[in-house]
Amino acid sequence: MKMRFPLIRGAKDYAIMESGCFEDERDQAHLKDAALPANHYKEEHEKEKK
Amino acid sequence: MKSGLLLVPLMTILPLLATPALAQTTAPQVTPAGAGNLAGQGPKIDLDKAKAFKPPRTELGHPNLEGIWQPRASGAAFSVLPHEGGFFLGQGSETGIIEGGVLPYQPWAAEQVKYRRDHVELDPTGHCHYEGIPHALYFTFQIFQTPNQIAFVHENMHAWRIVYMSGEHPKDYLAWMGDSRGHWEGNTLVVDVANNNDKSVFDMAGHFHSDHLRVVERYTLQDENTLIWEATLTDPKVFTGP
């Protein structure tokens, strides 16, 4: 299986900027009571509930 | 489940959508990359042009790939296959990024794709995990070259990886970004990515792989400002063939 796509060069005065979220952050901040898979960080989730 | 289908990816993407505005207030010269580029088609790939191009070189004589690279990946973050437009991606893609437009999943794996599509809460990017290769390459990144290592620093998910230009893949080791070993074939950087875990995914459409995934990437400058990314992927655990 083959994949391909082009990339274009950023301008010389560009700088990359980190974005996104840190690992596990989204679980803790947004998925306390919804959509968590079974046993996914269950221990931490239970602690938060208490 | 329809609304939930979009919830987690949206939460993941929202910080990306905010990037340009943030850039304007804190650092005017920061590239407004991220989601704005996800659906771009970009320049046409021309392998003959790439073959004739004489790239700038490093002190060691290798092609100099350093710089910031913005992918034009046809909305691959949403689906690597052809797909309709909508949601945050705007236009759709008639081509996707898969040659032939087909992922040759084994029957059980095709069922798993459907399950994952209906349970997008399982998408690891919705939990802020690394995206792995190739997924991380759908977003802007910067390349730094040294004689023995080539570093990739990604905007998204705070990810990075080092491509070692020597040595062998370690044994009994799996990682979100795998283990990358590179070499030069003429003007092309070839990177063999092994040791991938089975947790990263190809996109948000349920397309997944196992820990037998192997990605052989090829980076070739087509001209001063265009980089061609090609990859051959094998995964005998989930696909019927190459």
ipTM comes to 0.82
**Tell me, what amino acid is at B63?**
P
**Tell me, what amino acid is at B40?**
G
Instruction: Say if A32 is an interface residue toward chain B (CB within 8 Å).
Output: no
Tens digits of residue pLDDT in B72-102:
988 898 899 998 876 655 567 888 999 999 9
Report residue B203 as tokens: 């996109």
Size of interface A-B (CB pairs under 8 A): 163
- Position of tokens 């349970």? B119
Give me the pLDDT at residue B91, please.
67
Distance CA B67, CA B31 (A): 12
Tens digits of residue pLDDT in B182-208:
999 999 999 999 999 999 999 989 999
Chain B partners within 8 Å of A4 (Cβ): 45, 97, 99, 228-231
With cut-offs at 50, 70 and 90, classify the pLDDT of residue B127.
Answer: confident
Q: Mark yes or no for CB contact A1/B103 under 8 Å.
A: yes
Write the residue in B15, B126, B134 that is nearest to A3 by C-beta. B134
- Position of tokens 């070499």? B183
The one-character DSSP state at A48 is H
**Distant-in-sequence, close-in-space partners of B50: CB < 8 Å, separation ≥ 6:** B187, B220, B221, B222, B223, B228
Q: Mark yes or no for CB contact A16/B140 under 8 Å.
A: yes
Does A20 score more than 70 pLDDT?
A: yes
With cut-offs at 50, 70 and 90, classify the pLDDT of residue A17.
Answer: confident
E strands present in B3-139: 67-71
**Tell me, what amino acid is at B138?**
Y
Tens digits of residue pLDDT in B12-54:
443 333 333 233 333 333 333 333 344 455 788 999 999 999 9
**Threshold 0.90, pTM exceeds:** no
Write the residue in A1, A10, A27 that is nearest to B127 by C-beta. A27
Tens digits of residue pLDDT in B161-180:
999 999 999 999 999 999 99
Three-class secondary structure of residue B48 per DSSP: helix
Q: Mark yes or no for CB contact A20/B15 under 8 Å.
A: yes
Instruction: Say if B231 is an interface residue toward chain A (CB within 8 Å).
Output: yes
Q: Mark yes or no for CB contact B231/A2 under 8 Å.
A: yes
Cα-based angle B192, B60, B165 (whole degrees, multiple of 5):
20
Pairing status of strand B179-185 against strand B141-145: unpaired
In contact, B132 and B139? CB cutoff 8 Å: no
Distance CA B194, CA B211 (A): 9
Q: Mutate one of A2, A4, A5 to test the B interface: name it (highest B CB count within 10 A).
A: A5
**Distant-in-sequence, close-in-space partners of B164: CB < 8 Å, separation ≥ 6:** B148, B149, B180, B181, B182
